[in-house]
Amino acid sequence: MAASTSKQVIFAALAGNTAIAVTKFAAALFTGSAAMMSEAIHSAVDTGNQVLLLIGLRRAARPASETHPFGHGLQLYFYTFVVAILIFGLGALVSILHGLQRIRAPEPIQNPWINYLVLGLAVLFEGGSWWVALKAFNRQRGGRPLLPAVRESKDPTVFTVLFEDTAALTGLVIALIGVVASHVFGLPVIDGVASVAIGVVLALTAGFLAFESQSLLTGEAADPATRAGIAAIARAEPGVDGLNDLRTMHFGPNEILVALSLDFDDRLSAGEVEATVARLEHRIRAAHPQAGRIYVEAQSLASHAAVRAAVMAGGGPGALVSDVPGGATMTPRTTA
């Protein structure tokens, strides 16, 4: 269902951006507007980005293999990161450089009314795509504030399209102001300033999306409610004396790796421990279907504490930043 919703949002943005890009390029070449050319480049980049997101969704859906035993879900996060880089490299930088060139050598805009018409239509088309993305994102966030919902979301496709469209609408307003001001005041340099401003908007958008996607790409834990739910199920399972450790990691929007270290009742036989693990996995998956792979380690509390203390002292691969003596003072975005 989530993948279907994401594709609908992306296809809506793809259709709108393709039509808008063609129209903007034609208007920019006809009128000579730098702001309009920046907007055309922006729409062309957005069109390519939608294609990349569709490729990411398709590649992420491939099943696990010998070389990728945990599946290919992280591909989606990789392609989202590439999209952010393209927005910055092909959108922001080109717009800024084009604007600076026009500021150094300003030229009057020819037939500005064509720009007004194109920008007005673009606002309508882009607004439609933005509305589709906003409705899909609102369904996902379930009443949570906007930015916390983005920070906690594990599906980057919808909020990427939403932020792209938001940046596009902002850019359209800036371009319209630049074209009108250049025309009314007879100052073509304002058109170049508008192009630079559009580039800055794209750079800020790209920076935010890159930060969010790299965090997912490098291994984010499940949300706190999911982790708490899994821990509660483990502690309540008959035959489990205690939960030593719980680690989770997203391998895609709807797939979580769960690793548990449990202290089992010493009176249980090996067969009873196996049966307990089977029941536990069934109950976790029933409550949290996204728990695709569950690994359970049987270890006494004392043994686990000794191993953990040794790892923490050295700040090894299993150490949490907040638990390492003398470690970093920055709080990580999420902890497993």
pLDDT for 109-148, tens place per residue? 777 788 788 888 888 888 888 888 888 888 877 778 877 8
In a domain, 321, yes or no: no
The separation between the first and the last C-alpha atoms of the chain, rounded to the nearest angstrom, is 26
Query: How many domains is the chain built from?
Result: 2
- Same domain (yes/no): 130, 70: yes
Do the beta carbons of residue 209 and residue 77 sit within 8 Å?
no
pLDDT of residue 318: 60
Task: Calculate mean pLDDT across residues 181-199.
Answer: 88
- Same domain (yes/no): 162, 275: no
- Same domain (yes/no): 44, 171: yes
Range of the domain at 283: 224-313
* Position with higher pLDDT, 330 vs 302: 302
Q: Given a cut of 60, is residue 331 above it in pLDDT?
A: no
Task: Calculate mean pLDDT across residues 287-302.
Answer: 90
- Same domain (yes/no): 160, 271: no
Task: Calculate mean pLDDT across residues 58-75.
Answer: 86
- Same domain (yes/no): 249, 301: yes
* Position with higher pLDDT, 26 vs 287: 287
CA–CA dist 199, 126 (Å, integer): 18
- Same domain (yes/no): 194, 286: no
Short-list 172, 171, 177, 170, CA closest to 191: 177
Which band of pLDDT confidence, cut at 50, 70 and 90, is reported for residue 213? Answer: confident
Short-list 9, 6, 38, CA closest to 25: 38
The domain that contains 18 carries what CATH number? Answer: 1.20.1510.10
- Same domain (yes/no): 172, 103: yes
CA–CA dist 249, 78 (Å, integer): 16
- Same domain (yes/no): 232, 189: no
- Same domain (yes/no): 178, 230: no
pLDDT of residue 263: 93
